[in-house]
Amino acid sequence: GQNIDQPTEMTATEGAIVQINCTYQTSGFNGLFWYQQHAGEAPTFLSYNVLDGLEEKGRFSSFLSRSKGYSYLLLKELQMKDSASYLCAVASGGSYIPTFGRGTSLIVHP
């Protein structure tokens, strides 16, 4: 199985940059996903990393190091609407079905 760890909660200021870390232990790695979930709503896809390095998509970037079992999601120019839970998920063991971590609740304050 997989063991996925991410901080439970983070706070940041509007306009700032925040980095949400995720570590995982797995075998047969097939990719790492980040999803955003606002309270009471459906998760929405943010990024997918299968190779080492940084993937940038607008204000959001995701980094992966397979040798370290480590990823982070970087959010720049934070906005109030970025307050949400950020879910790290890993696909492994011959499957592309993501197993989700418990999520990091990000609170952005003015």
Convert residues 71-100 into a mask of x (bound to other proteins by CB under 8 A) and - (unbound). ----------------x-x-x---xxxxxx
If binding means CB under 8 A, how many residues of this protein chain bind other proteins? 23
Distance, in Å, from the CA atom of 44 to the CA atom of 21, rounded to the nearest integer, reads 18
In 3D space, the residue among 110, 108, 106, 109 whose CA is nearest the CA of residue 7 turns out to be 106
- Taking CB under 8 A as the binding criterion, the range among 15-23, 42-50, 67-75, 76-84 that sits at the site for other proteins is 42-50
Contact call for residues 6 and 101 (beta carbons, < 8 A): yes
**Residues near other proteins, by CB under 8 A:** 30-31, 33, 35, 41-45, 48, 50, 87, 89, 91, 95-103
